[in-house]
Amino acid sequence: MDVLALREEIERIFKLNFKEREELGASVSVWIGGREIISLAAGYCEKECIRPWDETTLVPVWSATKGLASVCVLKILDEEDLSLDTPVVEIWPKFGRSGKENISFKDVLTHGAGIPSLNEQASVFDYEEVIRAIEMQAPLWKIGSGHGYHPRTFGFLLDEFVRRLKGISLGQYFNETFAVPMGLEFWIGLPQEYHPRVATLYPGKMSNPDEEEAFYKAFMNSESLTRKAFGSPTGLGGVSGMNSPNSWSAGWPAMGGIGTARALAKFYSMLANGGEWDEKKIVSSGVLSLIEEPLVVGEDKVLCLGNAFSAGLMKGRNDLMRRKLFGSSKSAYGHPGAGGSHAFADPENSIAFAYTMNQMNYGVLPGPKAIDMVDAIYQ
């Protein structure tokens, strides 16, 4: 790989995003072989162009949080000698209500648990209320009959696993286990002292991206599973709600992570290099194998498109998606976030990538602003 040529091409695309694709503020970080070879940051934190965007700018990354949260849970299950096939009720007895007694950790991590939305009204800001609603919820499909993305409930499920096994929140566990030791400027539950560094998010303009027509048709139907899933638990008023300090501090493992592109890419670089950081093994080979292997493949009942998941991470399957979210490597995995944030690891080539921004795209998957850079890495 010609690193100099790659840097030039990534920089060309990065500048193009601002010139022709209405980017406002953004960062990209690319790591190869355990070191950062590209770091770009430009633009502004708000439309009024008051605060310049730089490499230390923090921004919510929505569902890109799920990848980090999943690794936390997998590491704990590994340490506790609990297999993915273990029923959740072994650590959380009340979870078994309403026909959920046989749901396993694998079902949850692969979005196959059948509880992407809740019948009981529960506020996203009331953790205990959400957990009670999850306990009462019956699966919305027969377990084993397929998978459907759990946009919000996924994080509460994972958080409760960590609290029951470690006695602390998932956000605290991530901070103590990964963020502090690795020097990652990323939080799942942002301390107030860092609030002034957070960029303002702006919603994308209405469009109908390739591959996503079925999703948006379902999303516009208030009675669809898709629409219900993306609004449950309730109480988060779209993009404007994520600009609230209360949301920054809430610590939602499914969608509440806030940090830098460098931190995201650094985390994935650790995974791409055998789970080692600073000559220490911090993620076992067993965990790495679980996040590399596709465990479910097919039509997603909520996203209404074909995709694949390993244990909590999204996999790029070229036969299902025209967009190569994670390049051409079969071993790659990661997780995008709403509006265009994106991060992944490619252990086959020791590559890690992350893109963060505050002008969101209208799309459930990353668009050209990030994917053109990914394509450049693999050309």
In this predicted structure, what is the pLDDT of residue 318?
53
Residue spans of the domains in the chain: they are 3-378
Whole-number percent of the chain with pLDDT over 90: 89
pLDDT of residue 364: 82
pLDDT digits (tens, 9 = 90+) for 256-267: 999 999 999 999
**Side chain identity at 92, as an amino acid letter?**
W
Question: How many Å apart are CA 251 and CA 125, to the nearest integer?
Answer: 10
State how far the Cα of 312 lies from the Cα of 335, in Å rounded to an integer: 9
pLDDT score of 206: 60
Identify residue 235 by its one-letter amino acid code: G
Q: What are the tens digits of pLDDT across the range 122-149?
A: 999 999 999 999 999 999 999 999 999 9
Rg (CA), the chain: 19
- In the CATH scheme, what is the homologous superfamily, with its name and number, of domain 3-378? DD-peptidase/beta-lactamase superfamily (3.40.710.10)
Q: How far apart are CA 324 and CA 170, in angstroms?
A: 30
The stretches in the chain having pLDDT less than 50 are none
pLDDT for the residue numbered 204: 86
Q: In what order do the strands lie in the sheet with 186-188?
A: 59-60, 257-259, 186-188
- pTM beyond cutoff 0.85: yes
Q: CA 35 to CA 272: how far, in whole Å? A: 11
